[in-house]
Structure 1
Amino acid sequence: MNSFLLALRSSFGFLSTIPVGITMEGLDEFFKRTYLHQVVGLVLGLLMGAVAYLLISFIPISISAVLIIAFVYYITGLNHLDGVADLGDGLTAHGSVEKKLKALKDMSLGIGGVAYAALIIIAFYAALTSLYSEASILYSTSADVARIFFFAMFVSELSAMQSMLTIAAFGKSIHEGLGSILINNTTVPKYLIGFVIGSIACIGASSYLGLGVTGILAFIAAIVATFVLLNISNRHFGGVNGDVIGASNEVGRIISLITITLVLMYGGIV
C-alpha cells in the first residue's frame, strides 16, 4: 500500500473508532504526517455535523444534546476524556512535581479526575443547549437552527484536532510513549499545514452558511485556550504527555462551541 494511504488509514485508526485496522508500520507513517489530524477532523466533523443536524431537526434539544455527546464519544472513543481525568488527578495532587507526575500517570482514578471529566461533559452539554437557545433567537426555522449545529460540530472537531497539534508542536515531552512520539514528530511546518487545512475548512463553512468569520474565530479561540492549557501543564508537570494532548482535544472542542455561541449572542452573524 502507498505510504500516504497507509498513513491516512492509520490516522483514522488512531484518532477514531472507525474499524480500518492499524499496524505499527501504519502508525510510523502517520506520525511522519501528523497534519493528517485535520483530514480526520474534516471527516469526523462532517459525521458529527450530520448527526447533530438530524437530531436537532426531530428531537428536543435536551435529548439531542445527550445523543450528540454520546455519538461524539462513540466515534472518537474515550481516550481523550481519559486524558482529562488523568490530567485532573495530576493537577489536584498536592506537593512536588514528582508527586503530581505520579498522580498524572497513576492508572487509578481519583476525585480530581472524576471532577474534571464530569465538568467537561457538563460543559459540553451546556455549550450545546446554549447554542440552541441563541440560534433559536436568531433564526425562525428549525432547519436553520439545525444548520447552525452542523456548522458548529464541524468547526469544533477541526478545532479539537488543531488543539492536539498545538500541544504536540509546542509542548515538551515528560516521558516516553505515544504522546512523546507525536510530540517529536510534530514540527512547526507540519503544524502549519494542519492549521491551513483547518482554517480553510472553517472559513469555507462560515462563508457557505453566511456566518462571516465565526468559524475562524472559534478555531483560533480553541488554539489560544490550548496554549493556556500548555502553560498550566508546564507549571505543574514540567512538560506534557499523551494525557495532556488528549485533554486538549476536549478543551478545544468545548471552547470552540462556546465561542460560536457567544458570537451568535453578542454579534449576531459576524
Structure 2
Amino acid sequence: MAVRALAAVRGAVGFLSRIPVGNTEAGWEAFRRTPAAMPAAGYLVGALVALPVAAVAVAAGRGVAVPPETAAVAVVAWLYAVTGITHLDGVADLGDAAVVHGDADRRREVLADSALGVGGALALGLVVLGHAAAALLVVDLARLAPVLPVAAVGLVVAAEVAAKAATATVVCLGDAAHEGLGSALTAESGPRSLLGVAAVAAPVALLGWPALAPGLAVLGAAGAVAGAALWWSTARLGGVSGDVLGATNELARVAGLHAGVVAWTLS
C-alpha cells in the first residue's frame, strides 16, 4: 500500500509539474487511481513555488529592499517554470468555450480547437493578472517581520495544495464529457475518494499557525472554485474534461491566494 502511495505521488508530481522525477506507466496508473496524490504532490510543488517568496523574506531580513513589483513578476515566472503551462491551455480553451453560442456539442468543438479566441485570451490575461496581483500581496507580507514572512511562504504552499485538492474534487465528483484525460481520471474515482483528498489537504490550514483563518480561507476559496467548475462543466459541456481540470487548478490557486491574503489582513 505504501509503495503504491509513493508511486502515485511521484506520478502526480511528474504529471502536474515540470519537476524531473521521471514519468512511468506504473506511476501514471497509480496516480490516476489515487486522487489524494494530487494535494500530496501540492506540498512539494508549493514549497518549490514559494522559493522566491522566501528569498524576498531573507533579503528583507538583511536590509535588502527588493522592489515588490519585480519580485512579483519573478514569482509568477518561477511558478510556471515549476508547474508548466499545460493548465493554462485549459484556461484558454474554457475561456473560448464560455463565450461561444450554442449547445454542449458546439462548446466541446471549441475546446478541441487549438486556435485561441478572444474569450481564451481574456481568460488567460485575467488568470495571469490575478496571479501577479496575488504575488504582489504575498511579497508584501514576506517583507514584513517577524512572523509574516513564514505566513507568506505558508500561503503559497497552502494555495498549491488547495488547487490540487480542488482538481481532485472535480475528479471524484465529476463525470467525463468524452473519452480523454478527464475520463481516464474520473473513471477510477468516486465520492468516497474525497475522504482521502480531504485528509491530505486539511493540514494546510495549520500553515499559518497560530492563525487558522488564512489557511481555512484558502481551502474554502479553492473548494468554491471546484464547485463552480463542476456545475458549469456539467451544465455547459455535459461533463468534465482535461481542460476543466487544468482550469480548475489555475483558478483555485488564484482564488486561494487572494482569499488567504484577505484573511490575514482581517485577522
- For 1:234, the equivalent position in structure 2 comes to 234
Structure 1 residue corresponding to 2:205, chosen from 200, 203, 206: 203
- For 2:85, the equivalent position in structure 1 comes to 78
Report whether the alignment pairs 1:152 with 2:159.
no
Task: Report the Cα distance in structure 1 between the residues aligned to 2:261 and 2:8, rounded to whole angstroms.
Answer: 35
- For 1:107, the equivalent position in structure 2 comes to 114
- For 1:12, the equivalent position in structure 2 comes to 13
Bigger mean CA offset, 17-26 vs 240-249: 17-26
Q: How far did 1:153 drift?
A: 0.4
Task: Report the Cα distance in structure 2 between the residues aligned to 1:42 and 1:131, rounded to whole angstroms.
Answer: 18
Give unpaired runs (5+ residues) of structure 1.
none
Give unpaired runs (5+ residues) of structure 2.
60-65
Which amino acid is the alignment partner of residue 177 of structure 2?
A: I
Instruction: Figure out how many residues of one structure are paired with residues of the other and give that number.
Output: 260
How do 1:40-79 residues align onto structure 2 when only pairs under 5 Å count?
A: 40-58=41-59, 59-79=66-86
Task: Report the Cα distance in structure 2 between the residues aligned to 1:151 and 1:4, rounded to whole angstroms.
Answer: 24
Provide Cα deviations, 1:138-173, integer angstroms capped at 9, x if missing partner: x853x5443232011011001110110111111121
Task: Report the Cα distance in structure 1 between the residues aligned to 2:114 and 2:189, rounded to whole angstroms.
Answer: 27
How do 1:191-270 residues align onto structure 2 when only pairs under 5 Å count?
A: 191-200=194-203, 202-207=204-209, 210-265=210-265, 267-268=266-267
> In the alignment, is the contact (CA less than 8 A) between 1:159 and 1:219 conserved in 2?
yes
TM-aligned CA distance change 1:214 to 1:5, over 3 Å: closer
Q: How large is the RMSD of aligned CA atoms in angstroms?
A: 2.0
Structure 1 residue corresponding to 2:188, chosen from 185, 189, 197: 185
Task: Report the Cα distance in structure 1 between the residues aligned to 2:9 and 2:132, rounded to whole angstroms.
Answer: 31
TM-score normalised over the length of structure 2: 0.90
Report whether the alignment pairs 1:37 with 2:49.
no
Q: How far did 1:132 drift?
A: 4.6
Indicate the percent of aligned positions where both proteins have the same amino acid. Answer: 29
Task: Report the Cα distance in structure 2 between the residues aligned to 1:263 and 1:213, rounded to whole angstroms.
Answer: 6
Provide Cα deviations, 1:228-258, integer angstroms capped at 9, x if missing partner: 1221222221211010000000111111111
Q: How far did 1:118 drift?
A: 0.9
Task: Report the Cα distance in structure 1 between the residues aligned to 2:46 and 2:26, rounded to whole angstroms.
Answer: 27
Report whether the alignment pairs 1:120 with 2:123.
no
Report whether the alignment pairs 1:94 with 2:101.
yes
Task: Report the Cα distance in structure 1 between the residues aligned to 2:117 and 2:144, rounded to whole angstroms.
Answer: 46
Task: Report the Cα distance in structure 2 between the residues aligned to 1:8 and 1:97, rounded to whole angstroms.
Answer: 34
Task: Report the Cα distance in structure 2 between the residues aligned to 1:238 and 1:62, rounded to whole angstroms.
Answer: 41
Which amino acid is the alignment partner of residue 233 of structure 1?
A: S
Task: Report the Cα distance in structure 1 between the residues aligned to 2:138 and 2:55, rounded to whole angstroms.
Answer: 16
Task: Report the Cα distance in structure 2 between the residues aligned to 1:140 and 1:68, rounded to whole angstroms.
Answer: 17
TM-score normalised over the length of structure 1: 0.89
Task: Report the Cα distance in structure 1 between the residues aligned to 2:24 and 2:202, rounded to whole angstroms.
Answer: 30
> In the alignment, is the contact (CA less than 8 A) between 2:174 and 2:230 conserved in 1?
yes
Task: Report the Cα distance in structure 1 between the residues aligned to 2:6 and 2:162, rounded to whole angstroms.
Answer: 24
